[in-house]
Amino acid sequence: MRRTLLTILLLFAVLLGVGLYFGNEYWIHRFDAVIEKQAAIYRLDPKLVWSVIHEETYFSPWKLGEAKEVGLMQITPAVAREWAQETGIKDFEQQIERDRVEFLRDPERNIQIGCWYLEKLNERYRDAPAPEARTLAAYNAGASRVTEWTRVPENAAPLDEDEFIKRIDISTTRSYVTEILKRWRSQKK
């Protein structure tokens, strides 16, 4: 009787572990096709976009941030409005004004806007040392802060990635950049 109970418990534990593993694999990869599509449109590495979403919301499209960010990539109202204006589609601007949360919770639209914004930041830092670190820091804390963290004396060499990350004086942003870069690079292997 005791042996049967142990066998049943062991079988249950194995089945639970397998279920959790495959459930998690589904959870973290269910938006891969959308990520691939939008990353290609905006000339981004899909693994970087995936890593941003992993860090921002762990693939939870309903998440709302403290600063009114919405969805998978935590799109701010200002970025959403800028994207809508740049598309030139008045209906998007009106939808954002009517119900920004509903508009931005759509996973494909959220990833599209997030990729658009990442590409915009990536273009800004493309020729700088450690462009990915700067892009991620700007995505998280704003481009004006990246400008502060990048300043060096005249005729000094620009900061490399490690030096730049050490200069980030917001611990959550420093951690954000470090974690995404680590996750992204581990996927590239």
Parse the chain into domains and list their residue ranges: 1-30, 34-188
Per-residue tokens: 94: 């009106």
For the chain, give the secondary structure using H, E and C: CHHHHHHHHHHHHHHHHHHHHHHHHHHHHCCHHHHHHHHHHCCCCHHHHHHHHHHHHCCCCCCECCCCCECCCCECHHHHHHHHHHHCCHHHHHHHHHHHHHHHHCHHHHHHHHHHHHHHHHHHHCCCCCHHHHHHHHHHHCHHHHHHHHCCCCCCCCCCHHHHHHHCCCHHHHHHHHHHHHHHHHHHC
pLDDT recorded at residue 188: 74
pLDDT recorded at residue 27: 84
- List of residues 6+ apart from 159 with CB closer than 8 A: 129, 130, 150, 152, 167
pLDDT recorded at residue 18: 47
Radius of gyration of the chain (CA): 20
Handedness of CA 128, 132, 135, 141 (dihedral sign): negative
pLDDT recorded at residue 24: 76
Environment class of 122 (CB within 10 Å of its CB; exposed 0-12, middle 13-18, buried 19+): buried
Which residues in the chain land under pLDDT 50? 18
Q: Which residues of 55-85 are buried (b: 16+ CB within 10 A; e: fewer)?
A: bbbebebebeeeeebbbbbbbbbebbeebbe
pLDDT recorded at residue 22: 56
Classify domain 34-188 by CATH architecture. Orthogonal Bundle (1.10)
pTM metric for this prediction: 0.88
What span, in angstroms and rounded, lies between the C-alpha atoms of 117 and 109?
A: 12
Q: For 148-157, write each residue's pLDDT tens digit.
A: 999 999 999 9
